[in-house]
Each structure stands twice: as C-alpha cells, then as structure tokens.
A and B are shown apart, each in its own frame.
Chain A
Amino acid sequence: MRSMRFVDAIEDALAVAMAQDSRIVIFGEDVRMLRRNLFIRFGQRRVRDTPISEGAFVGAAVTAAMAGLRPVVEVMMVDFVGVAMDALLNHASKVETFSGGQWTAPLVVRAACGGGYSDGGQHEQSLWGWLAHIPGLTVVVPSTPADAGGLMFSALMHDGPVIYLEHKLLSADWLESLGAGGRQTVHFDVPADGAKGPAPDEWQPLPLGKAVLRRNGSDVTMLSVGVGVHRALEAAESLRERGIDAAVIDLRTVAPLDSELVIGSVSKTGRMLVIDEDYQGFGLSGELTAVTLEAGIAARYARVCTTGTIPYSWAEEFLVLPSKQRIVEAALRLLDR
C-alpha cells in the first residue's frame, strides 16, 4: 500500500493504463496544462487540447471509440456536459442496442463535479442521477483515492461509455484552481480520508456496479456516493455518541446500481437514509426507494439531497447541499428521537 492524493491516484491509474494500451488518448479543454505530466510522457498525439467545442469533441469521441480508440474526454465540469448532451443521450448510450449488440462506444467522459466552495449553480452540480437515467451509460463516482484509481482503471477497460465524476472537494487540483486560487484566506470542508489515503501498489480494475460497506451498523442504512459518503460517516460518528448504530454504504457507481447490497442492508436495519448531493427529485434517492420496494422491503425512509438550484451565497449553499447536521437530524427523525 502507498498513500496518495485522490487526484494523483486518477492520474497514476491513467498513466499505467496509457503505457499498457496505446489506444487510450486524452482530449478536452486545457488538457495539455491540466494533464501536463501525461502530455509530456505520452506526447502530443495522445494528449490533445480541444477548442471549447464540447458538442464536437464529445461527439467525435463516440465514433473514435467505435472505430478502435479509447478516448478519455474532459469537459472540465459536469455542468458543461449539457453542451455535449446529444452525444451522450442519443449516441454513445445507444450504439450497442442500435447495432444489435455488434458495436459499442468505449469512451470515458471525465468531469469534475460537486459543490462546497461557493462557485454558483452552473459550476457546482452533481448530475450523476440525471446521467444514470439514460440506459447505456455507466456512471462512476469514487470517494477515496483507492477507488478513484481502481475505478478509472476499470472505466478505461470497460467496453462501453463511462461517465467518470471526480468531486472537487476530493480532487485537490480542482479545488485549488477553482476554490482557492492561491488564497490562504478561504477554507473548505474537505473530507481528509477522501482527498488523500491508501492506494494499492498496483492498480486492479474494480468491478463496476459493486458498492462497498464503509461502516457496519444495525439501526439505519445510509447510502451515498462521493463526498456524501464522508458526510454520512461523520454523521454516523455523531449518531454513535447518541447510541445509534448507522451503516454506511458507498455505492461507488450510480449506474449500474448495486441493489443487492442495498437491499441486504436495508432489510436488516429496516431504515434507509439516502444522502445525495445530486438533486432530490426524480433521481438516485428515488431510484433507491424503488429498488427496495420492488424487493418487497417496507423500510422507513428519508433523504438528504440538494433541494434546488444551488445558491451562490456561501451560507445558503451550505443549507442546500447535504451536511452532517442535516443527515443527523434526518436519522434522528427516522428513529423517532
């Protein structure tokens, strides 16, 4: 084991995979600066800057992937994927079905996501539920350095389109660039175990669609991805002091969803609390309810999600995004405390 930053784990896994597989190419906005180490090592043919033309370069990645390349395309922030949505909604996700299973588009869309540094509602969205809604897209949201590298490794090997989302509070370079900008006068609530932690000496692909139990507990099952996992773990510590034993499941991939682990845990605790930094309505939190109900489990249920457009104001943003305080309150209500 070694200790790595979340952002370095992603880059390290990418570098290892690129050395093994010459089909992997990176293109996107500013990638020669953002991924300068990969640019220098693997050269200008494999790391290309693009114009700010998401529709063109994400669309191009789909057929480049179909024709044999393994593109990793960077749209900077997931909010900007809106500009390229047609490529994902109507093309990347549908190739396999439309071609009768003869063809797939193995591309990785890499984007920063999430809030907590007060950058306003066009730069802090999560959108994993919105993307996972589309059949055919795999949506990955790691919460630790080990998962960040392992899931990047499996995304690169996966034979279909993968959306790889790195939360800005975990990915130190993004937070430095967009949040701090060299200032010592601003501080962020960064989950330390997420931003830096143990990583395997050699990357192995992690299975896509496999959740992990981060904390065992018998009173309530907390479910989350990304930074939400760390907020849930912090809340679970507070709840322990009040005699409540909370389990925390890190879904790791939103699609495919590991319903088996979810159902197993919820059927034991009888209480389900979803912590989702994505929007509340019509998303992951509702989907998790559906899979448990479909399994015949009548659990008590609550959710702590992003409730509306994310306000710019730092104080208000804190109230809108899931926080430890809101999670603890929701858990206490579930337990009638």
Chain B
Amino acid sequence: MSLDLIHLYEQMLRSRLFEEGVRTLWNEGLISGEMHLSLGEEAIVAGVVCQLEDGDAMALDHRGTAPLLMRGVGPVSLLRELLGRKDGLCAGQGGHMHLFSRKHLAASSGIVGASGPAGVGFALAAQHLRPGKLAVAFFGEGAVNQGMLLEAMNLAVVWKLPLVLVCKDNQWAITTPSSTVTGGTLTERAKGFGMPAIASDGIDVRAMWEAAREAIQRARNGDGPTFIHARCVHIEGHFLGDQLFRAARSPVKETMPLAGPLIKSIVTRQGVPLSERLHALTSVTRRIQDAAKDSSSVENDPVLRARRALSLDSGQLDALEEKVRSEIVSAVESALAD
C-alpha cells in the first residue's frame, strides 16, 4: 500500500464534516449527554485506519466516531446511534462512548485506559485465529497513567502480539495539564516495556501514515507491538461545551458566576497565606487561558494541513470537497428522517 494523500484528505474531511454535523445536532439538543469528538485527531486516525483491512480489529476509546467512519461504518447508522434511535448502529443503546461494530471488530469504551486491555485481547484472537491480522488500540495521553493500559503494554510485549498502540496526545487530561501529572516521557515509558516507540507529528497525516505503516508491518509480520506517540490539539477541548473553552471564548458570561466563590475563597479566614492563594488563583486562570489557546491555530488543524499539501488544481479540489460535503449533508438529512 502506498500513501494516497488525496484519499487520506478525503477521509479526514469526511470525518470533520460529519463531526461538525454532530456538533450542530448536539447544540440543537437532538443528541444528549456528553459528546467527545475526534476534531483535531483526524490525521492520527486516518493515518492508521486507512491502512487497516478486513479482519483487523480496533479497540477504541470515547472518541470512536472518526475511526468507525473511516473504517467503513455508514454515516447514517452512526448518526442514528447518536440520536438514540432504534435503527442506529447499536440500536440507540450505546451512544457515542459505547460504539460497537462486530462486523469491523471494533469496540469502544468510556473508561479511560480500557482500550489497552481490549487491544490485547483483539490481538490475541488475531494471533490465534487470523494470522497476519492485527489490532489497533487508540487512547489519549491521560490514559497512559492508567494501570490497566500499562499492564496491557507489558502483556502485548511478552506475548509478542500484533498490536499497534496509538497515543493521541493533546497534553490535557480533561482539565488537568498532563505534564503536571505525568512522569518521564511516554516514548521512553513504552520502550521500557521492550517495544519500539515512534514519535510522530499527529497533525501531519503523511507522518502519521508512515509511522503507522511501520507499526502495522511489524504487527503483520508477527514481530510484536509498537507504540506510536502522536501530538495533536482538540479543537473543541475535552468535549463539546468544555467549560475551560467556554470560559476562554466568552470570559464575561462564563466566568462571572465563578467570581463570587473565588473571591470568597481568597478572603475567608483560615487557610493558606494570601500569597499562596493568589498563586493558586493564577494557576486556575492560566488553565482557562491555556486550554483553548492552541485550538484555533490553522497550524494545528490536520485537515487544513493536509489540504495545503495536496497537489490538486482548484477544480479537482472543489469537486472532491463537494462530493464529500454532499454525502454528509444527505447523511444528516437521512438520519433525521423517519
């Protein structure tokens, strides 16, 4: 398989437009609960998933829409699941954090780190039943502090399993900067288990494709697991309606209600000295400023990055984008139809 940037861009754009549609439906209140999207992860997902074949498995986290869409699950079926309909992918029972497609050997979990053991199990089944096939596990960098994921990494090495471990690192574990709760570096950590680790630019789909190619080849050849560490930025934060993002985007409206209790906590007697309180206050406000600061940068947008790298004339590009757009528009219309 050789790198086909047009195909990769098409898949990324499709995912982007699909998830923007989801965002609209969520904002309208037609989709309920939390909504964690892959906005900003498209290059990582496309670089890996576009190289999978039938019989390969995917262990997904709570951001399963992009991998499933790129793996071939129909957009209408996915949307109907998110709308909670009986004719959705999982009969409206799972929702976006619990998406399953038996046909694609794809299973999700809303429990952070759970995709590690899930990936090991899929890879074990491949080793027994489907030689040459593999499993991919997707997770964030926050999950790499979860015991079960570290245990899974060790297991994958000692059983020499065909597993590709893909860490999508946006540097935030929900609202906590990952650097403040993570020791060492993640690639060194993976190497400590005795597996190769590749650091890749998760915003550049070509780099991701190359990293994934190497890891996938190793898995298919029976040479064991690989860890891919890919940096990215979540365009909408941890989830839609992320409070840090809202506070950064509408500071007056969102932070005014917080101000009273914050002031009270600074002036109330009994507690640490004022200087330490102000220091803590600064760290809270800095988080609000930092959380969203990289999200709107064009440089950090993998879809725009891929678009710029394409060598298509504007007519071809327009035709491609129009095709994708009309597919997604009609998918949204069909999903909403009775």
Binding site for B on A (CB under 8 A): 15, 19, 29-30, 32-34, 36-44, 49-56, 79-80, 82-83, 117-123, 177-183, 185-186, 309, 311-316
Are A42 and B271 closer than 8 Å at their CB atoms? Answer: yes
Interface centre among A40, A49, A51, A181 (most CB of B within 10 A): A40
The answer to whether B132 has its CB under 8 Å from any CB of chain A is no
Are B113 and A52 closer than 8 Å at their CB atoms? Answer: yes
Q: What mask results when residues 86 to 104 of chain B are scored 1 for a CB within 8 Å of chain A, else 0?
A: 1000101111111000000
Residues of B within 8 A of A82 (CB): 111
Cross-interface CB contact of A52 among B145, B277, B281, cutoff 8 Å? B145
The 5 tightest CB contacts between A and B, nearest first, are A181-B241, A185-B29, A312-B95, A313-B84, A51-B145
Minimal Cβ-Cβ distance residue in A for B93: A311
Give the distance in Å from the alpha carbon of A38 to the alpha carbon of B270 in the complex.
11
Known contacts A118-B32, A183-B241: does B148 contact A41 (CB below 8 Å)? no
Are A185 and B27 closer than 8 Å at their CB atoms? Answer: yes
Are B29 and A123 closer than 8 Å at their CB atoms? Answer: no
Minimal Cβ-Cβ distance residue in B for A22: B270
Given contacts A40-B266, A52-B112, A53-B145, could you give 4 more A-B pairs where the C-beta distance is less than 8 Å?
A32-B287, A39-B280, A82-B111, A311-B92
Give the distance in Å from the alpha carbon of A34 to the alpha carbon of B284 in the complex.
10
Interface members, chain B 234-286 (any A CB < 8 Å):
239-244, 246, 254, 258, 261-262, 264-266, 268, 270-272, 276-277, 279-281, 283-284
Q: What mask results when residues 53 to 82 of chain B are scored 1 for a CB within 8 Å of chain A, else 0?
A: 000000000000000000000000000010
Are B181 and A181 closer than 8 Å at their CB atoms? Answer: no
Tally the A-B contacts, defined by beta carbons under 8 Å: 172
Known contacts A37-B262, A181-B239: does B84 contact A44 (CB below 8 Å)? no
Interface centre among A38, A56, A312 (most CB of B within 10 A): A312
Residues of B within 8 A of A29 (CB): 173-174, 176
What range describes how many residues of B lie at the interface? 35 or more
Known contacts A120-B98, A312-B94: does B277 contact A41 (CB below 8 Å)? yes
Minimal Cβ-Cβ distance residue in A for B114: A83
Are A119 and B176 closer than 8 Å at their CB atoms? Answer: no
Are B29 and A183 closer than 8 Å at their CB atoms? Answer: yes
Are B264 and A117 closer than 8 Å at their CB atoms? Answer: no
Known contacts A43-B276, A119-B95: does B175 contact A52 (CB below 8 Å)? no
Are A118 and B33 closer than 8 Å at their CB atoms? Answer: yes
Are B32 and A119 closer than 8 Å at their CB atoms? Answer: yes
Minimal Cβ-Cβ distance residue in B for A80: B111
14 cross-chain CB contacts under 8 A: A19-B271, A39-B284, A40-B262, A40-B277, A41-B266, A51-B142, A52-B174, A53-B146, A120-B110, A122-B98, A123-B110, A178-B33, A183-B241, A313-B85
The answer to whether B182 has its CB under 8 Å from any CB of chain A is yes
Give the distance in Å from the alpha carbon of A52 to the alpha carbon of B111 in the complex.
10
Cross-interface CB contact of A36 among B176, B240, B262, cutoff 8 Å? B262
Are B143 and A52 closer than 8 Å at their CB atoms? Answer: yes
Give the distance in Å from the alpha carbon of A316 to the alpha carbon of B92 in the complex.
9
B2 → chain A closest CB, angstroms: 38
The answer to whether B34 has its CB under 8 Å from any CB of chain A is yes
A94 → chain B closest CB, angstroms: 21
Are B175 and A312 closer than 8 Å at their CB atoms? Answer: no
Give the distance in Å from the alpha carbon of A82 to the alpha carbon of B173 in the complex.
19
Known contacts A181-B240, A183-B29: does B84 contact A314 (CB below 8 Å)? yes
The answer to whether B192 has its CB under 8 Å from any CB of chain A is no
